[in-house]
Amino acid sequence: MQQESVNRPSYTFTKKERICSKTLFEEIIRNRQSFSIYPLKCYFLINRQHTSLLPNQIAISVPKRKIHSAVHRNKIKRLIREAYRLNKNILSEGEVESSIQYQMIIVFIGKSIPSFKTINDKIITILKRLSQMATTIS
């Protein structure tokens, strides 16, 4: 018995989906397109690609000024990464033909460790807002 491939969303988080370039990181911050949904702030770029569709890219930052312990900073990054991994298909629901690539930096601006439910709800709100912004720009 062989299963047919069904169009299921991918729940992986690969190296290609991470922003590793310092110049790209600085360009996103310099662009100054951002919004906050406490305890997260999202800086973003929305690119229209006419060639091959590249994956959406994300960087996650938890400032040392806000969260002093490295263990807690890493936990918050893991929570944000997991919430994004589970919900990243929100960005590509209506964008299949339009070839839109999102590049975003999520910065944690809270002062304590949030629960996964809180982070998950905020990531969903951020991704929905980005998707709406892309449709209003086009």
**pLDDT tens-digit readout, 20-78:** 999 999 999 999 899 999 999 999 998 877 555 678 999 999 999 999 999 999 999 99
Domain 17-137 -> CATH class: alpha beta
Higher pLDDT residue, 60 or 5? 60
The three-state (H, E, C) secondary structure of the chain, written as one string: CCCCCCCCCCCCCCHHHECCCHHHHHHHHHHCCEEEECCEEEEEEEEECCCCCCCCEEEEECCCCCCCCHHHHHHHHHHHHHHHHHHHHHCCCCCCCCCEEEEEEEEECCCCCCCHHHHHHHHHHHHHHHHHHHHHHC
pLDDT of res. 96: 52
- Kindly report the pTM of this predicted structure: 0.87
**pLDDT tens-digit readout, 124-135:** 999 999 998 887
The full set of domain ranges for the chain reads 17-137
